[in-house]
């Protein structure tokens, strides 16, 4: 029985590895095409973004299965003993205010979450980290691509990740717009630690934000 379980997970890891190789090859191909003006179409940048997201998602899934397989074969830890998906989810914080980024990161890490921070939406998009992100904490007003515009782009590309907006301004109309576009909530700075943690739990649980 144990041998069958090991073999089953080994096959899952191999399949995930193959999907990652295929996604990487597709991304490299499209990246090369971007340098050729003759093959660059009107939707080239969007297609490249989708390919990059697919590569990141494939890598995240391969890494997850590899960790499970290692725990099973090396440490004798059964798959059902793994943490539930989202219980220690990766959270990306995007805010041009460094003090807000650092304070929010410290709070979330103290609660057991994995956290990465970005000073702009452009930095997030260029990092390839979206595929691993399970919750996005996003400032409304930023230079360059602002929060609502990033949400619009992600929705247009079909990339679904729970978004919690934060703002230091009275953005009533913006709040209605981003909530209607699928955001979990919009929190006003400074927000209470308990409020943010509860909203993150809601986002990772796939529930509607409390009214």
pLDDT at residue 211 in the model: 43
pLDDT at residue 85 in the model: 38
| Phi and psi, residue 35, nearest 5° | -80, -5
Strand stretches in the chain, DSSP E: 90-94, 114-118, 135-139, 163-167, 185-188
Domain ranges of the chain: 2-81, 90-205
CATH superfamily of 90-205: Response regulator (3.40.50.2300)
What is the side-by-side order of every strand in the sheet holding 163-167? 114-118, 90-94, 135-139, 163-167, 185-188
Enclosing H/E stretch for 147: helix 147-156
pLDDT at residue 33 in the model: 72
- Walk along the chain (211 residues) in steps of 10 and give the mean pLDDT of each run: 60 82 82 61 63 70 72 62 48 94 91 92 89 93 94 89 91 88 93 90 66 43
pLDDT at residue 45 in the model: 62
pLDDT at residue 87 in the model: 42
């Amino acid at each position: 029985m144990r041998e069958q379980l090991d073999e089953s997970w080994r096959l899952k890891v191999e399949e995930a590895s193959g999907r990652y190789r295929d996604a990487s090859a597709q991304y490299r191909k499209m990246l090369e095409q971007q340098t050729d003006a003759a093959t660059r179409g009107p939707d080239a940048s969007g297609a490249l973004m989708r390919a990059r997201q697919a590569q990141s998602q494939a890598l995240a899934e391969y890494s997850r299965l590899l960790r499970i397989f290692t725990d099973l074969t090396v440490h004798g830890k059964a798959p059902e003993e793994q943490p539930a998906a989202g219980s220690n989810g990766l959270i990306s914080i995007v805010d041009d205010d460094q003090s807000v980024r650092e304070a929010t990161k410290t709070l979330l890490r103290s609660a057991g979450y994995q956290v990465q921070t970005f000073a702009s939406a452009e930095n997030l998009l260029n990092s390839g980290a979206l595929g691993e992100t399970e919750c996005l904490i996003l400032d409304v007003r930023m230079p360059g691509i602002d929060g609502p515009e990033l949400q619009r782009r992600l929705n247009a590309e079909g990339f679904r990740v729970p978004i919690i907006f934060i703002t230091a301004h009275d953005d009533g109309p913006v709040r209605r717009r981003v909530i209607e576009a699928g955001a979990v909530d919009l929190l006003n700075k400074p927000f209470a630690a308990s409020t943010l943690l509860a909203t993150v739990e809601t986002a990772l649980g796939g529930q509607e934000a409390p009214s």
